[in-house]
Structure 1
């Protein structure tokens, strides 16, 4: 039976994905730094395996992966790197510590998980890594500069590893949604002009559906929503300055 380990599983996209894959009959493992919320979700889904985890702690990452994969013959069909944080605001008004936390969790945490998961993925037929990317990984988005930097890094890592790990039979891809209606977005105190103009039109469940499609497809990048698909393909066929110009228009105060 296929298995999936989801980081950032306690709420939002991670929780919606856990519910969907559990309903589809997969063996689901849940990890998140929010232990109480994680335990509540695990109980809701019938007592799923779960572990509190800070993805920036490489030693704990290795321990948790070893524990989960030991329950499945040392194999891991799918790692979903969903853990991440976000902070809207003017770059100079966000503390250096907050910028560092965004990069540490969104990039270093993903690197920790993916690196430690390699031997289990390599041992599994049709293994796959799905990274939580973003529309902000297509082009830097004002008022979320460090978040954009983290998602551009995720995009680059995804592209490189998908090529590098083909020889091991491991596919690597990412999901690229625009703004999603999750607690992470709704809790923000600053509203970027881009969000005001584009709106928050996606739900966590729609992104979970895209994750399910990605788990059964070969795409490297999966842009989500018609709105962003148009922007994504514009970026593939037009000069870079066109994307920059459009981002400037969308983000104008």
Structure 2
């Protein structure tokens, strides 16, 4: 039985990913800082604080005890957002976002590596907010730039071991994360479901010959347009577009 470990799996996108892979007959490890309150015969649940290397080690070892010692996919899903102008955020709010969204992802990759065999995959959750820095959620946006860069670096670093590393780039999805005051929510809306993100993760981890080399995976038409337009547009154009959408 194939296996996937998911951080931040108590609700939202993490839960949707768990349910998508369970439906395909996978063994699923759903771990979160809050208790996971759903059940399935192939579901293993537990607690994890992604800011702690000891917590990562304990959670992965716990799940691997049910999988024969290896894991096919690790989904670095846990993340938080605190909206507001940077000058209005407390140092604790800034640090918590960076600790969970950046340090937590690196610690997850480090702890997961011994369990990832040739053919295994690491999935990191980036965001459409990483196409250009977003005002009002600058720390969160920057953390997703970090995730994108980390993914690219690891995709090269781990290629020699036969391990794929990909990043998922959704716009706002219908989760608690979207319950904030970011201007882009008002202008673009919240139109993606957690199930759509989960489906993209399923496709990203089951690529065909044409998509196997893809590192960055968008979810909807809107975030796909933003992703590729940013790569073609000069910085001053991207800045103006971002000002209109998120300023």
Same fold (TM over 0.5): yes
1: CA distance, partners of 2:246 / 2:140: 15
Checking the alignment, whether the CA contact within 8 Å between 1:174 and 1:221 is kept in structure 2 is yes
Q: Deviations over 1:163-188 (max 9, x none)?
A: 111000000001000111102223x3
5+ unaligned residues in a row in structure 1: which ranges?
A: none
Q: How does 1:36-75 map to 2 (within 5 A)?
A: 38=36, 40-41=37-38, 43=39, 45-46=40-41, 48-75=43-70
1:126 aligns with 2:119: yes
Which residue in the other structure is 1:172 paired with? 165
Provide the TM-score with structure 2 as the length reference.
0.94
Q: How many residues align?
A: 242
Q: Deviations over 1:39-89 (max 9, x none)?
A: x12x2x247211111011111211221221132222110000000001111
Q: How does 1:62-211 map to 2 (within 5 A)?
A: 62-121=57-116, 124-186=117-179, 188=180, 191-211=181-201
What CA RMSD, in Å, does the superposition of the two structures yield over aligned residues?
1.2
1: CA distance, partners of 2:221 / 2:55: 39
2: CA distance, partners of 1:199 / 1:152: 22
2: CA distance, partners of 1:26 / 1:72: 10
1:236 deviates by 1.7
Q: Deviations over 1:126-176 (max 9, x none)?
A: 100000110011211110011011101000000000011100000000100
Checking the alignment, whether the CA contact within 8 Å between 2:50 and 2:56 is kept in structure 1 is yes
Which residue in the other structure is 1:7 paired with? 7
Query: Secondary structure at 2:29's aligned position in 1?
Result: strand
Provide the TM-score with structure 1 as the length reference.
0.92
Which residue in the other structure is 2:18 paired with? 18
Q: Which of the pair is proportionally richer in helix?
A: 1
Checking the alignment, whether the CA contact within 8 Å between 1:77 and 1:125 is kept in structure 2 is no
5+ unaligned residues in a row in structure 2: which ranges?
A: none
Q: How does 1:28-43 map to 2 (within 5 A)?
A: 28-35=28-35, 38=36, 40-41=37-38, 43=39
